[in-house]
Chain A
Amino acid sequence: MSAAERPAAAEAAPVLEARAVTMRFGGLKALSDFELSLLPRELVGLIGPNGAGKTTAFNAITGVYAPTRGDVLVGGARVNGLRPHQICVLGVARTFQNIRLFKGLTALDNVRVALHSGIRTGIVQALLLTPHHYAEEARIRREAEELLAVMGLAHRRDELARNLPYGEQRRLEIARALAARPKVLCLDEPAAGMNASEKVALMELIRRIRDDFGLAILVIEHDMRLVMGVSERLVVLDHGVTIARGSPEAVRRDPKVIEAYLGDSYLEEKHIAVPGEAAGAGTGGAEP
């Protein structure tokens, strides 16, 4: 734990840190000097208009891209250049803006896949059907069923993921991410495509997950009012640059945020549910 460099480190060490992370794609600087420090059990919102670099920041953190410059630290250890599965095992799990479930597998199997990294029996034991293998599979099945129950999906256990309604697919994706036993959960627009009441329910659920599982959560959200309701802290991106950070109240009054963001926000105020957000109207071409 290299938390010593935080002067006011009376609290716990950060579980996730980004230090001056810069992402360059050819001539395009999608993200510049992105700074983030996520403490245990903290719920931080990452907001910004379309193309601001939010998903790029996610991809740099979770290893989809190796940062052009800067460092990403998980639990104090530098993870630049590690593959996404290695970063996942270290404790960062994510969901995707355009849901990426294993559509041809059942809800149960979707969750079980994410539990696989904790398995202690090898392929040979699985092929020989050793007692240890049965014990491990039974444990995984039990844990997966618990997670489905937490997300209110117990009745969908044997349903193929592609056959679930939209909202349940979103919840299944969160269940799957939780199965990776993360310390940090990164949610990429979890409320996209939902109506206003669904969004509120989802935000409640996210807060509850944080409390029950003791996780730090980083959530990308479009709907500013929504994210203000649940986050303790906000980071605002615009054109890859961090234009504001701090408490929701302070951010709301920040003139730079109003300038960059309020156009969108006003629109949302007028037509309460913005349709077509589910299609992921281009977060800067940063889709993985």
Chain B
Amino acid sequence: MPVPSLPGAALRSLLPFLVGAPILVAVQALAPPEQAIILVNLGVNVILAVSLNVVNGFTGQFSLGHAGFMAVGAYTSAKITVAMAGFDIAGLPPSLSDPLVFALALAAGMAMAALAGFVVGLPSLRLRGDYLAIVTLGFGEIIRVVIENTRFLGQATGIPGLPPRTNLVWVGMGAIGTIAMARRLGGSSHGRAMLSIREDEIAAEAMGVDTTGYKVRAFVIAAAFAGLAGGLLVHYILLVSPRMFTFVRSMEVVAMVVLGGMGSVTGSVLAATVLTVALEWLREVEGWRMVMYALLLIVLMLTRPEGIFGTREIWDLWPRLFKRRAKAA
């Protein structure tokens, strides 16, 4: 890999967003509203699945508390946009000020969720496997129950009447950002350190990998992006309530990660797409919807227990497709 110059590197760094922006603007303009909600759901699920994959797939830990971090991001950003509604930053017109406030609110939501991830991760990551799953499940529920009993956060009713800020461009950018994050992390030394923990924790530790440190980092990164997903979702449906963040939501995300293949970013994206679209199509069969959904999961797991993509990525195939690098004999 040649070392690019600074402008070249900046271009490369922003490339996914530069390519994605015009496409998303076009989709936003063309998509009929009844399809738009599905696409927003899809984008949010992609963010959730890809970010959880950093913990469950890369690092090999088992977190069941993703919905809790989503809630932290959602409430934080909702509180900010509601408080700032009708207030223009530095006298900017609302068309500029509102997106800016929203961006700041999302960033704040990510930061708070990351903080929650750190607070939860530090004590629980001493545990392994099933124990960690139970503890994260507990923490996720604690976050939800605390919200339900906090008057400031609207208790069980939640906060209605959020300003409409999310559209397909925002969600799409969030999804692109999350995928780029996961892909770049996976291709870096830090990502490989996380993978080594999944493969053999004792050997990773013996090879100089600070296993606890990297587990916490993975946890914090995943929590931050879950917070982003929460903030994006609630500013589309214009309501935030604790019912949206039960552990069923966490389970759905786990199902996407497992189905896609642990550690495969491509797989997470694909599984999030399949499951989101399947849930929409299954509205036709009404009462049988969840039964069919469960059956779909069972059949997929029986036929491909390692997940759709295993641990592979679609970009692993590129060099082979383009014969970019001649294989050393």
Chain A interface (Cβ < 8 Å from any Cβ of B): 62, 64, 83-85, 88-89, 93-94, 96, 100-105, 109, 112-117, 119, 121-123, 126-131, 133-138, 140-141, 154-155, 157-158, 176-177, 179-180, 288
Q: Which residues of A contact B193 (CB under 8 A)?
A: 113, 116
Known contacts A96-B202, A100-B200, A131-B5; 19 additional CB pairs below 8 A are A84-B206, A85-B204, A85-B208, A96-B203, A102-B204, A105-B192, A105-B196, A113-B193, A113-B196, A116-B189, A117-B208, A119-B190, A126-B191, A129-B13, A134-B2, A176-B207, A177-B207, A179-B207, A180-B208
Minimum CB distance partner of A123 in chain B: B190
A102-B328 in contact (CB<8A): no
Which residues from 165 to 211 on chain B have a C-beta closer than 8 Å to any C-beta of chain A? 180-181, 184-185, 187-193, 195-196, 198-200, 202-211
What are 24 A-B residue pairs whose CB atoms fall within 8 Å in the complex? A62-B206, A85-B207, A93-B206, A93-B207, A94-B206, A100-B202, A101-B200, A102-B200, A103-B199, A104-B198, A105-B199, A113-B195, A113-B207, A114-B207, A114-B208, A116-B192, A123-B185, A123-B188, A126-B185, A126-B190, A131-B6, A138-B1, A138-B2, A155-B328
A109-B192 in contact (CB<8A): yes
Taking chain A's interface residues, is the majority helix, strand, or loop, or is none over half, making it mixed? helix
Minimum CB distance partner of B198 in chain A: A104
* Contacts across chains A and B counted by CB atoms under 8 Å: 132
State the Cβ distance, B328 to closest chain A Cβ, in Å: 7
B189-A119 in contact (CB<8A): yes
Bound Cα distance A113, B21 (Å): 35
Q: Which residues of A contact B205 (CB under 8 A)?
A: 83-85, 88
Bound Cα distance A29, B3 (Å): 55
Chain B interface (Cβ < 8 Å from any Cβ of A): 1-6, 9, 12-13, 180-181, 184-185, 187-193, 195-196, 198-200, 202-211, 217, 221, 311, 327-329
Q: Which residues of A contact B9 (CB under 8 A)?
A: 129-131, 134
Q: Which residues of A contact B192 (CB under 8 A)?
A: 105, 109, 112-113, 116
Q: Which residues of A contact B6 (CB under 8 A)?
A: 131
B328-A134 in contact (CB<8A): no
Bound Cα distance A187, B196 (Å): 20
Looking at A64, A129, A131, A157, which has the most chain B CB atoms within 10 Å of its CB?
A129
Q: Which residues of B contact A133 (CB under 8 A)?
A: 188
Q: Which residues of B contact A116 (CB under 8 A)?
A: 189-190, 192-193, 208-209
Looking at B12, B208, B211, B311, which has the most chain A CB atoms within 10 Å of its CB?
B208
Looking at B192, B195, B206, which has the most chain A CB atoms within 10 Å of its CB?
B206
